[in-house]
Structures are given as structure tokens and as C-alpha cells.
């Protein structure tokens, strides 16, 4: 009897992992299946917030990492602590006072798929795949989660074009306060192919619908008409304009946000740190952060992106269950690919069947997982 109790205790302790890795708690072999509300490590899944064809499951935690040492792209561009320029059109160097100095390079042309970024703040800069940077010769989207250290040299940054037709403009870039919707973000973060990114922009969703599926509220024709409404340029941000697409995305977002705020208002000693998103009965996407503060910073932009995806998918009124969402969050068992900048960050990707999991770890001031992305691939 004593031996059985001791064994169970040891098994339970070994099964618990820190929130930094966002792993699920393993059940003791032979034990009954735990209820969906059981804490998963340091976080748990709430009932879904459902509106029309979207279900958003809040992920909450009683423990939050300190993410204040990190600067976001929106903050950095707004304050001037982060500068972005076209790659090849000029050379950007760091001056003695830390400010960027631009040296024209007339003999070389700007590159579509690379920008140059300098972080002149005292904090490391967090970049998320799918963040839109507007300006320059074309609007671009960040291709991969990463961290840019403070005080480093100008960094060549891989990006993808989301605006066809324009190749002129000022040298200035600004944060667009936009994260592209999941179908486009998947093509940038996982497939990393420019042609597939642009196909996803034009088509809206890349998810395959059943032959008799209910029509989406935002059709491919609506999107293609909207992005082409700028004359010779095809601009991604037009998708978010109600007048251009004939659908009020902001009304959709506001209603989901109202329900989400109501569902999470009674939390005691916990914060929302992420979400799992389903369209109809299909669990499709998850963004989870190391802190409630970091989630709050990105939440409105993420919700707008999820809503665009919902409007481009068939308008099924069915809803995924919490059990479906919990199963979706299991740690994948597949080949892992890593990229590391020693002392700065580690990027990890695992693929298993149609699922892909990407995690970004900060290595300083201590090792934490800042962002975890899990998605059901549409390709």
C-alpha cells in the first residue's frame, strides 16, 4: 500500500511541467481520463466563447512570467527605438550615439523579401510571424518568430510581400497594428514560400470546404475586389475595411470581444494567457503567451485576424467541444527542427501529420517560452 502511494506521488511529480514549456500534464497509467477543467501544468482551458462560426477557448493561468524586459514591434516603431529600412537600397549602420545612420546605395536595388532592422532600445525586441509592417516600397509581413537583441548591429530580416503592384514610397516603415489572418500566417510561418503567401492573401482562406458547405460571409471575390481597389496596387489591409469588403469585420470582432470579456471577467488569481480557436467544429489554431500582459498586448490584433478567417470560412453554426480543444493542445510527437542564437533565443518547430507546433524561447534574462503557436495545417 505504502509502495503504491509513493509510486503514484512520484509519477505525478514527474508528470508536471513548468508553464515555460507549456506541456500537458501526463495522466498516471490506468487512471481515469481527467475532466476538461483540470489544470494543465500551470494553465487550464475554459468553456468556449462562441459567435456564429467561431469558438474561442480562453487559456488561463495562475502563474505568469515577467515579460516586461521585452519590447514589441509596435512599441519599438512607435517610439523610434526600432528602425526598419529596405534591404539593398541603403546601408544602415549604428552611429556613436546608438542612432541609425543611413548610407544610400544607388547601385543596388531593394529586395522584396528582406528588410534591415536595428534595435536601438535597451530591451530585446520580440517579433511574431504574421506581424504586418507597412511603408517602404511595399507592405511586408514578418516571416518567423524571433528575438532581436538590444545593441546589436543592423539585422537582415526575412519577410514576405502582402502588397502587389506598388514598388515606390518613402523609406519610412510603421507598425500596421495588424497580424495577418491564420491562412496567410500559416504560409509565412510554416511554408515560408512567397507565392503561397500571396495565394493565401487573394483566396482568403486556404482551408478546403465540403462541396455542400454553407457559403462564407466574405467570399474570394470580395477579397480580390477589395485588395485590387487601390488601382495598380493590391493591398492586404483593404481586407479589414468594411466598405471595401461589404462586411463589418469590426462589428464581428466587437461581439466576440464582448462575449470573451464577459466569460473571463470573473477570474480570481488567474489571467488569460492565450486562446484556442475553432471554426465550426474544426479546432484550427492556438496562440499562447508567457504572460497575461503579453497576451493583452496582442489580443485585439489576433482577434481581428481570427475574425477575418472566420468570415472567409463556411458559416457552419456547429461548435467544437472543450475536449476537442484540449486534445488539440497535446504536445506533438514528430521531428523537431531548431534554430538558435546563443544567449538570445531558440526557435523550435515540430510537425506531426497536419499539425504544426512552433515555440519561441527567450534565453535571457532566463529561459522562458514567450510564445507557442499550434495550428492545423490547411495544405
DSSP string over 64-100: ----TT-EEHHHHHHHTSEEEEEBTTEEEEE-TTS-E
Q: Does 9 score more than 60 pLDDT?
A: no
| Model pTM above 0.85 | no
Q: How far is 25 from 45, CA to CA, in rounded Å?
A: 13
- Residue range 207-259, pLDDT digits in tens: 988 888 899 999 999 999 888 876 656 788 889 988 889 899 999 999 999 99
Band of residue 180 on the pLDDT scale cut at 50, 70, 90: very high
Q: How far is 131 from 77, CA to CA, in rounded Å?
A: 12
Q: Does 7 score more than 80 pLDDT?
A: no
Closest CA to 242 of 166, 198, 308, 164: 308
Phi, psi values for residue 322, rounded to 5°: -65, -30
Q: Which residues touch 87 (CB under 8 Å, ≥6 apart)?
A: 110, 111, 114, 115, 116, 156, 157
In the chain, what is the straight-line distance between the N-terminal and C-terminal CA atoms, in Å?
A: 52
- Residue range 45-61, pLDDT digits in tens: 999 999 999 999 999 99
Output 137 or 350, whichever has higher pLDDT: 350
Band of residue 374 on the pLDDT scale cut at 50, 70, 90: very high
Q: Quick check: helix, strand or coil at residue 306?
A: helix
- Residue range 266-320, pLDDT digits in tens: 899 999 999 999 999 999 999 999 999 999 999 999 999 999 999 999 999 888 9
DSSP annotation string for 134-184: EETTS-EEE-S-EEE-TTPPPEEEEEEE-EES-----S-EEEEEEE--HHH
Q: Does 35 score more than 70 pLDDT?
A: no
The mean pLDDT value for 167-191 works out to: 83
Query: Of all helices (H) and strands (E), which one includes residue 325?
Result: helix 322-328
Q: Residue 193, Cα to own-chain centre: how many angstroms?
A: 17
Q: Does 31 score more than 70 pLDDT?
A: no
Output 89 or 266, whichever has higher pLDDT: 266
Q: Does 97 score more than 80 pLDDT?
A: no
Q: How far is 316 from 331, CA to CA, in rounded Å?
A: 28
Amino acid at each position: 500500500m505504502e509502495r503504491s502511494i509513493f509510486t503514484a506521488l512520484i509519477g505525478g511529480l514527474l508528470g508536471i511541467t513548468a508553464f515555460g514549456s507549456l506541456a500537458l500534464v501526463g495522466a498516471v497509467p490506468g487512471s481515469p481520463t481527467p475532466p476538461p477543467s483540470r489544470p494543465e501544468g500551470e494553465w487550464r482551458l475554459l468553456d468556449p466563447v462562441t459567435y456564429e462560426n467561431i469558438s474561442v477557448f480562453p487559456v488561463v493561468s495562475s502563474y505568469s512570467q515577467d515579460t516586461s524586459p521585452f519590447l514589441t514591434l509596435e512599441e519599438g516603431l512607435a517610439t523610434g527605438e526600432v528602425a526598419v529600412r529596405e534591404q539593398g537600397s541603403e546601408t544602415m549602420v549604428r552611429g556613436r550615439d546608438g542612432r541609425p545612420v543611413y548610407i544610400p546605395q544607388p547601385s543596388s536595388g531593394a529586395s522584396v523579401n528582406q528588410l534591415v532592422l536595428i534595435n536601438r532600445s535597451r530591451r530585446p525586441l520580440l517579433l511574431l510571424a504574421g506581424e504586418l509592417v507597412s511603408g517602404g516600397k511595399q507592405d511586408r509581413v514578418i516571416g518567423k518568430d524571433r528575438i532581436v537583441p538590444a545593441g546589436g548591429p543592423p539585422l537582415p530580416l526575412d519577410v514576405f510581400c502582402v502588397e502587389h503592384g506598388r514598388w515606390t514610397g518613402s523609406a519610412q516603415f510603421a507598425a500596421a497594428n495588424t497580424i495577418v489572418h491564420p491562412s496567410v500566417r500559416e504560409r509565412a510561418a510554416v511554408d515560408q514560400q512567397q507565392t503561397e503567401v500571396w495565394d493565401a492573401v487573394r483566396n482568403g482562406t486556404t482551408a478546403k470546404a465540403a462541396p455542400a458547405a454553407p457559403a462564407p460571409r466574405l467570399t474570394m471575390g470580395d477579397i480580390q475586389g477589395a485588395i485590387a481597389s487601390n488601382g495598380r496596387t493590391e493591398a492586404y489591409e483593404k481586407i479589414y475595411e468594411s466598405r471595401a469588403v461589404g462586411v463589418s469585420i469590426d462589428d464581428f470582432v466587437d461581439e466576440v470581444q464582448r462575449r470573451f470579456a464577459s466569460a473571463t471577467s470573473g477570474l480570481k488569481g488567474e489571467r488569460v494567457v492565450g486562446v484556442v480557436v475553432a471554426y465550426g467544429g474544426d479546432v484550427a489554431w492556438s496562440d499562447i503567451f508567457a504572460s497575461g500582459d503579453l497576451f493583452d498586448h496582442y489580443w485585439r490584433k489576433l482577434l481581428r485576424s481570427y475574425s477575418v478567417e472566420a468570415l472567409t470560412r463556411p458559416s457552419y453554426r456547429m461548435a467544437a467541444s472543450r475536449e476537442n480543444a484540449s486534445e488539440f493542445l497535446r504536445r506533438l510527437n514528430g521531428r523537431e527542427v531548431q534554430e538558435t542564437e546563443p544567449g538570445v533565443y531558440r526557435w523550435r518547430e515540430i510537425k506531426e501529420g497536419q499539425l504544426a507546433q512552433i515555440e519561441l524561447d527567450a534565453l535571457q534574462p532566463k529561459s522562458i517560452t514567450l510564445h507557442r503557436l499550434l495550428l492545423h495545417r490547411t495544405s
